[in-house]
Amino acid sequence: MRRKGILVVVSGFSGAGKGTLMKNLIKNYDNYALSVSMTTRSPREGEENGKEYFFVSKEAFEEKVKQDGLVEYACYCDNYYGTPREYVETQLGMGKDVILEIEIQGALKVKEKFPAALLLFVMPPSAKQLKQRLAGRGTETPEVIEKRMRRAVEEARGIESYDYILINDDLEICTKELHSIVSAAHNSIDRNEEFINNMRQELNVLVKGEK
Ligand code: 5GP
């Protein structure tokens, strides 16, 4: 039986280390496809168009929305972010586990459209460390850091909508935990209904045949 891909949503406070975690996951395991989002925010130093994001104008973003080309989109700290539909559908069709690294509003929309999606929330070991990591990045102004900390307070209220939390203290341990959760999800009852029903039918046929 061919394994179906799982849509894995990874959210977490800005500065929780999601980006590094995703890169490490892709480096260590080959069954994942990482979706590249579209955004209207400006690239940070070192970011490349098509790698971290597709950086587009507000007009181009709105056009994509009009064409129904995004699985979901949201406004986060004054910028638009959205998940291009085509890549997600193609990769899932190929049996890949597709990772969407998105914020909470988008995550909830995905859960509505794809109830079988797996929702994970990455947290730092403490709130203090979150602020230190945001400041240590050196790419954000104090105002942006403040805005992102306030946003973390809001997002912390919505964690109950997620399936699992991941505490990103040690990168390697956190990567293994993430992979274990996705692996276990492949064996959940609700993701294997077809297999289970076939098994039931075959059992029935065999039992009847034996009479
Ligand atoms: P950053 O500007 O730090 O790269 O991302 C800001 C936030 O936007 C993060 O929480 C990130 O997960 C989220 N984000 C990135 N891409 C998407 C997307 O396609 N859709 C949604 N809803 N959020 C996204």
Asked whether the predicted pLDDT for residue 78 surpasses 70, the reply is yes
The pLDDT-based confidence of 14 (bands split at 50, 70, 90) is confident
CA of 174 to the centre of ligand 1 (A): 20
Q: Which of 34, 102, 121, 122 to mutate to test the pocket of ligand 1 (most atoms within 8 A of CB)?
A: 102
At 200-209, the pLDDT tens digits run 999 999 998 7
At 146-181, the pLDDT tens digits run 888 998 999 889 999 999 999 999 999 999 999 999
Cα–Cα nearest to 28, from 179, 185, 183: 179
CA of 173 to the centre of ligand 1 (A): 24
Asked whether the predicted pLDDT for residue 2 surpasses 70, the reply is no
Q: Which of 48, 54, 81 to mutate to test the pocket of ligand 1 (most atoms within 8 A of CB)?
A: 81
| Alpha helices by DSSP H, 29-126 | 58-66, 85-93, 104-113
Q: How far is the C-alpha of 188 from the C-alpha of 23, rounded, in Å?
A: 26
Distant-in-sequence, close-in-space partners of 166: CB < 8 Å, separation ≥ 6: 12, 21, 120, 121, 122, 123, 174, 177, 178, 181
pLDDT computed for residue 1 by the predictor = 62
This prediction has a pTM of 0.90
| Average pLDDT value over all residues in the chain | 93
pLDDT computed for residue 140 by the predictor = 79
Q: Which DSSP category does 32 fall into? A: E
User: What does the pLDDT average to over 83-95?
Assistant: 95
Q: How far is the C-alpha of 132 from the C-alpha of 195, rounded, in Å?
A: 48
pLDDT computed for residue 90 by the predictor = 95
Q: Which of 103, 113, 120 to mutate to test the pocket of ligand 1 (most atoms within 8 A of CB)?
A: 103
The pLDDT-based confidence of 117 (bands split at 50, 70, 90) is very high
Q: Which amino acids bring their CB within 6 angstroms of ligand 1? A: 14, 37, 41, 72-74, 76, 81-83, 101-103, 105-106
At 57-67, the pLDDT tens digits run 999 999 999 99
User: What does the pLDDT average to over 45-51?
Assistant: 94
Q: Under CATH, to which class is 7-33+95-210 assigned? A: alpha beta
Q: Which tokens go with 19?
A: 């980006």
Name the residue at shortest CA distance from atom 11 of ligand 1: 102
CA of 195 to the centre of ligand 1 (A): 35
